Chains A and B, each alone.
Chain A
């Protein structure tokens, strides 16, 4: 029992950390030297910075919002889990935790899909995807699995 509980907590914390890094690190796209995207897209030219704003990219703002929301929901679900762990009736399911975790996974999936679909016209020819993008796609199945575990998990003595 304790092993399952610990594993669930570890999985949830891993999800939270991955989501935090993916949202906060400005590294969804890289050209080998510098990292771009999600929050700013600046290149250094002639000693100064030339930044591309998100004015022309509404979809990028949507991705920002979805990633922030996913992180917030994952955090809320973790807090709910800790609350429900002590206050839930014996045999009850972690309903609220599961709902928030599944919502978080849906948000991160939407954000990653939107970025994947729209970024080819936004990025330069030689750019590749950065580690934050990979982490976002990794966070989606992990949070979904975590959410399903909470749906199935029951509180025992």
Chain B
């Protein structure tokens, strides 16, 4: 009975290894501080036993670049690290291939190390599979901050200082400034316009005063209003009603 079970499982394993491919695992994203070391882990799943000819390859593609370069290779039992590229003297192999671990250690990180690292593992005869990528983000010293907005929504986050940014303007300052200046100018122009009209009317009034001579100082107010009415057609109705009031007052006197 047991032997039959063992036989079936071996046969199934054999079949499965023909169907499924090798699956490579890495992290999704790694964050690290400038100057520190980061360990990029890579492992794989395969139905086959770990072969002595297992290979691990690491490729590096900087942010914004189209192509990547090869920086690490493990094959034939020996590890070959980058000795010409951007990681020379900074790369170390810290994995254990017999335990399916192909991790590398990058020392003394810099901002130029931002990019995508791709690990490709092959376990002969299981060689069909997709490589896996891990994104590396290099930060300067991090400060934990929390920002609470007006509506009470708090956002806890890392303050990332990749490079020095100019001091940001508070939200709404520019908006308020533009609106205030334009409306202020508008009110100023309207005020100046009416002031000019008033001044012109006064000058016309003083001319007419000298013309009419001494007609009584009691009528100063009414004359001024009459002159204003002449120069401002919009206020015709108002001036007319004023005239009537004054005439009625004079009649009463």
A→B interface (CB under 8 Å): 42, 48-51, 53-56, 58, 61-62, 64-66, 68-69, 72, 87, 89
Among B168, B169, B178, B233, find the residue whose CB has the most chain A CB atoms closer than 10 A.
Answer: B178
Q: Which A residues are in CB contact (< 8 Å) with B174?
A: 58, 61-62, 65
B→A interface (CB under 8 Å): 149, 153, 155, 168-179, 182-183, 233-234
Q: Which of A55, A64, A65 contacts B169 (CB 8 A)?
A: A55
B171/A55 in contact, CB under 8 A? yes
Known: A61-B172, A89-B233. A51 touches B179 (CB 8 A): no
B168/A56 in contact, CB under 8 A? yes
Q: Which residue of B lies closest to A53 (CB)?
A: B171
Q: Which B residues are in CB contact (< 8 Å) with A48?
A: 153, 155
Q: Which A residues are in CB contact (< 8 Å) with B233?
A: 89
Q: How far is the CA of A92 from the CA of B18 in the complex (A)?
A: 92
Q: Give, as a whole number of angstroms, the nearest-CB distance from B8 to chain A.
A: 46
Known: A49-B153, A51-B149. A62 touches B168 (CB 8 A): no
Q: How far is the CA of A48 from the CA of B177 in the complex (A)?
A: 32
Q: Which B residues are in CB contact (< 8 Å) with A51?
A: 149, 153, 155
Q: Give, as a whole number of angstroms, the nearest-CB distance from B12 to chain A.
A: 41
Instruction: Report 10 cross-chain contacts, Cβ distance below 8 Å, ordered by A residue.
Output: A48-B155, A50-B155, A51-B153, A54-B172, A61-B175, A62-B175, A65-B179, A66-B178, A68-B175, A87-B234
B182/A69 in contact, CB under 8 A? yes
Known: A48-B153, A50-B155, A51-B149. A65 touches B178 (CB 8 A): yes
Cross-chain pair count, CB within 8 angstroms: 48
Q: Which A residues are in CB contact (< 8 Å) with B172?
A: 54, 61
Q: Which residue of B lies closest to A87 (CB)?
A: B234
Q: How far is the CA of A102 from the CA of B86 in the complex (A)?
A: 60
* Further contacts, 5 of them, CB under 8 A, given A49-B153, A55-B170, A69-B182: A42-B153, A53-B171, A55-B171, A66-B178, A89-B233
Q: Which B residues are in CB contact (< 8 Å) with A66?
A: 178
Q: Which of B155, B169, B234 contacts A58 (CB 8 A)?
A: B169
Q: How far is the CA of A98 from the CA of B176 in the complex (A)?
A: 26
Q: How far is the CA of A56 from the CA of B182 in the complex (A)?
A: 23
Q: How far is the CA of A54 from the CA of B171 in the complex (A)?
A: 5
Q: Which A residues are in CB contact (< 8 Å) with B176?
A: 65
Q: Which A residues are in CB contact (< 8 Å) with B169?
A: 55, 58, 61
B171/A61 in contact, CB under 8 A? yes
Q: Give, as a whole number of angstroms, the nearest-CB distance from B177 to chain A.
A: 8
Q: How far is the CA of A123 from the CA of B101 in the complex (A)?
A: 40
Q: How far is the CA of A64 from the CA of B169 in the complex (A)?
A: 15
Q: Give, as a whole number of angstroms, the nearest-CB distance from B193 to chain A.
A: 10
Q: Which A residues are in CB contact (< 8 Å) with B153?
A: 42, 48-49, 51
Q: How far is the CA of A61 from the CA of B169 in the complex (A)?
A: 10
Q: Which residue of B lies closest to A50 (CB)?
A: B155
Q: Which A residues are in CB contact (< 8 Å) with B175?
A: 61-62, 64-65, 68
By Cβ-Cβ distance, the 9 closest A-B pairs, closest first, are A65-B178, A61-B174, A55-B168, A61-B175, A65-B175, A54-B171, A64-B175, A49-B153, A65-B179
Q: Which A residues are in CB contact (< 8 Å) with B170?
A: 55
Q: Which of A42, A49, A62, A89 contacts B178 (CB 8 A)?
A: A62
A69/B179 in contact, CB under 8 A? yes
Q: How far is the CA of A48 from the CA of B152 in the complex (A)?
A: 11
Q: Which B residues are in CB contact (< 8 Å) with A65?
A: 174-179, 182
Q: How far is the CA of A61 from the CA of B174 in the complex (A)?
A: 6
